[in-house]
Amino acid sequence: MTGPLRRPFLKLAALALAAAALAAPARAQWNSGGPPRSPQALTVDVLDVGQGDSILIRSPEGKTALIDAGPTRDGAVQALKKKGITAIDLVVVTHHHLDHHGGMDAVIREFHPKYFLATDSSHTTQSWLRLLQTVKSENVTSVLPTAKPRRIELGSATLTVFPQPPEDPKSENDNSVGVRLQYGGFSMILTGDSEPPSRNWWLENCPDLLRDCSVLKLAHHGSHNGTDAPWLDMLKPELAVVSLGAGNSYGHPHSETLELLKRDRIPLVRTDEWGTISLVSDGSTWNLVSSSMLARRKAAPRRDAVVAGGEPTRGPSRSSSRRR
């Protein structure tokens, strides 16, 4: 995406204004550790919460957003406290499955976000209903994705919520919220557990929001139905990241996904092997850094990961009766 977005958007008034124009693509830099976070930098932390998702975004101005909160009640809260987080401006639940909202109730009670963004999908459970009650009791403003893109300005960074595909009553994964994060020339795309029907709808209806991202968060924890060739051909990510639990019973990431990444020479980093994955950008360059990365690299070789310009190396594929 090389020019300013031209669709109508709704701004959230409590979040600071930022420039709408998008800069030239940021250059990737590959660090094994790296310096502490700069106050002038955007930081994205793909938190290590096991078999689930939780992504923390911090703007240079200190505005914060959390996309999903992992599968356990306290895992996300503990990870956020380790990062020094004391308040959150916006929380997003991509869809109504427990591995994405299991810790959100505790996050809301602990950090008192201003806004809660989620769909009004008809898929519901007792845990989801309890979360909605917490949102109400804590006086958090609820926001819905709409049929048009919605731009949320997080200081000088921008979150663009994709237009929401028609509801799929049979597949809650395909009701996932999609988001593009943009800061200068750095961009990241996150689409929950989206499967081919919703991704194909986005490809057809909002291709300008998808093109040429710096980093792709693999949908559905690296499942075979979370990534496909048309998706990668449109997004052309420089790096893929995936959040999943070590030795998970689903066999994630699936061999089909790893082969697609290998085909396109897209590096992959995984929370089950690297711990929390941190990305830092000044808008012109971006760095992959992780405080836990060095210890894990010394302990054992990484599977399915590459260095810049290298070939992915694959560990043995895993099969599971719970493959999905």
Sketch the domain layout of the chain as residue ranges.
27-299
Q: Which uninterrupted H or E stretch holds 161?
A: strand 157-161
Pairwise pLDDT comparison (290 vs 155), residue with the higher score: 155
pLDDT band of residue 63 (cuts 50, 70, 90) is very high
The answer to whether 203 and 234 have CB atoms below 8 angstroms apart is: yes
Return the CATH superfamily for domain 27-299.
Answer: Ribonuclease Z/Hydroxyacylglutathione hydrolase-like (3.60.15.10)
Determine how many CB atoms are found less than 10 A away from the CB of residue 175.
27
Q: Is the pLDDT of residue 301 over 70?
A: no
Residue 161, C-beta contacts closer than 8 angstroms, at least 6 positions apart: 117, 145, 149, 150, 151, 152, 177, 178, 179
Q: What is the pLDDT of residue 173?
A: 75
Kindly state the tokens that stand for 172. Answer: 């809650």
- Global confidence as pTM: 0.81
Mean pLDDT, residues 24-53? 74
> What digits encode the pLDDT tens for the residues 71-94?
999 999 999 999 999 999 999 999
As a whole-number percent, the residues of the chain with pLDDT over 90 amount to: 70
Q: How many angstroms separate the CA atoms of 288 and 239, rounded?
A: 9
Q: Is the pLDDT of residue 182 over 90?
A: yes
Mean pLDDT, residues 165-178? 89
Side chain identity at residue 104, one-letter code: M
Q: How many angstroms separate the CA atoms of 54 and 36, rounded?
A: 21
> What digits encode the pLDDT tens for the residues 215-233?
999 998 889 889 999 999 9
